[in-house]
């Protein structure tokens, strides 16, 4: 089986944890352990988020006047190297003798995407309301609620095409464990001369993972986070986990745009277009999600849902 596993930012850095190399290394050790078992018997392609990391790099960049001022696409590329290096190292340690490669991935977006006028993607740390208002005024940031706090939000255009898709297929075909599309990939557009340039945005990594899964003809897409699965009536006394559904069934529900919504959209689109399966749930439950014993499993319509 060919599996694309997307590691969410919250799977790499738990809420409330300090954004330190030690904390990320500890979580990545657990992540690679959960996926290494699957990799021994299946082809594995790993993508990952970068929301907390790219936000902190942006803060560091702005802290030294006249030195940085790097746009989000370059900061995103920096986090791809940082996180991808750590993921690749953990996989090498747990799968001795297996080839592992990290692929810096540029993904084309539409410069006219309406997302550029409507920032929704949360990045960086969580602030109090007072801190958020101060930063918004000082730096011109867009701020939105996130749980009990507030975070910076940036444009999140839809991914259209992976520029390195041929290299990706070559590596996967050779049996290499590939880490790619880090942070949703580096968002780029083509100018009137056909030249590539980066844009100020962060692509939703779950949608990019779905694109990767379709392009490599994967059998399964796993969207791994810190949640038990897709929860219905979230936060209410009747909250419950949706165990199994078809794309049509799961899309009939509404989910938050900045969190579970993109996961559901990516999973449903992958299953509908390929006939494969998709799972959403906790990182440590990856193997169990794949067989429908944990998380939420999305299956083709003819396979029967809830």
Residue 184 DSSP label: G
Residue 258 annotated in active site: no
Classify residue 237 by burial, with Cβ atoms within 10 Å: 0-12, 13-18, 19+. Answer: exposed
CA distances from 216 to 180, 211, 220, 227, 272 (A): 12, 9, 11, 27, 16
Catalytic residue among 8, 10, 50, 51: 10
Catalytic residue among 27, 49, 121, 258: 121
Tell me, letter by letter, the H, E, C secondary structure of 112-157. Answer: CCHHHHCCCEEEEEEECHHHHHHHHHHHCCEEEEECCEEEEEECCC
Residue 121 annotated in active site: yes
Residue 281 annotated in active site: no
Residue 147 annotated in active site: no
Please state, in angstroms and rounded to a whole number, the distance separating the CA atoms of residues 203 and 35: 24
Residue 10 annotated in active site: yes
Catalytic residue among 27, 51, 124, 263: 263
Find tokens 């300090």 and name the residue: 18
Catalytic residue among 55, 84, 183, 205: 205
Is 87:6 a contact under the CB 8 Å cutoff? no
**Edge-first strand listing for the sheet containing 2-7:** 100-103, 177-180, 43-48, 2-7, 220-225, 277-282, 296-298, 244-245
Which positions are annotated as active-site residues?
Answer: 9-10, 121, 205, 263
């Amino acid at each position: 089986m060919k599996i694309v596993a997307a590691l969410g930012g919250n799977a790499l850095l738990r809420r409330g944890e300090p954004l330190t190399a030690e904390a990320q290394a500890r979580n990545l050790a657990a992540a690679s352990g959960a996926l290494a078992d699957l990799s021994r018997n299946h082809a594995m392609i790993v993508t990952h988020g970068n929301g907390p990391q790219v936000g902190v790099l942006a803060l560091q960049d702005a802290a030294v006047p006249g030195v940085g001022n790097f746009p989000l696409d370059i900061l995103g590329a920096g986090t791809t190297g940082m996180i991808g290096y750590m993921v690749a190292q953990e996989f090498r340690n747990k799968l001795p003798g297996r080839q592992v490669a990290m692929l810096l991935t540029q993904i084309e977006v539409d410069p006219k995407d309406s997302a550029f006028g409507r920032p929704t993607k949360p990045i960086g740390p969580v602030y109090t309301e007072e801190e958020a208002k101060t930063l918004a005024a000082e730096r011109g940031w867009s701020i939105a609620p996130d749980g009990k706090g507030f975070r910076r939000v940036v444009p999140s255009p839809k991914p259209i095409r992976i520029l390195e898709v041929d290299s990706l297929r070559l590596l996967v075909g050779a049996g290499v464990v590939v880490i790619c599309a880090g942070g949703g990939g580096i968002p780029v557009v083509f100018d009137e001369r056909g030249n590539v340039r980066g844009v100020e945005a962060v692509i939703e990594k779950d949608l990019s993972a779905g694109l990767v899964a379709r392009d490599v003809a994967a059998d399964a897409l796993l969207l791994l986070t810190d949640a038990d699965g897709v929860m219905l009536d979230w936060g209410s006394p009747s909250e419950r986990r949706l165990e199994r559904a078809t794309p049509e069934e799961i899309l009939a529900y509404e989910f938050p745009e900045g969190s579970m919504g993109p996961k559901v959209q990516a999973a449903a689109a992958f299953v509908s277009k390929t006939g494969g399966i998709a799972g959403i749930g906790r990182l440590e439950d990856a193997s169990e999600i794949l067989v429908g014993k944990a998380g939420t499993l999305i299956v083709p319509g003819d396979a029967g849902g809830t």
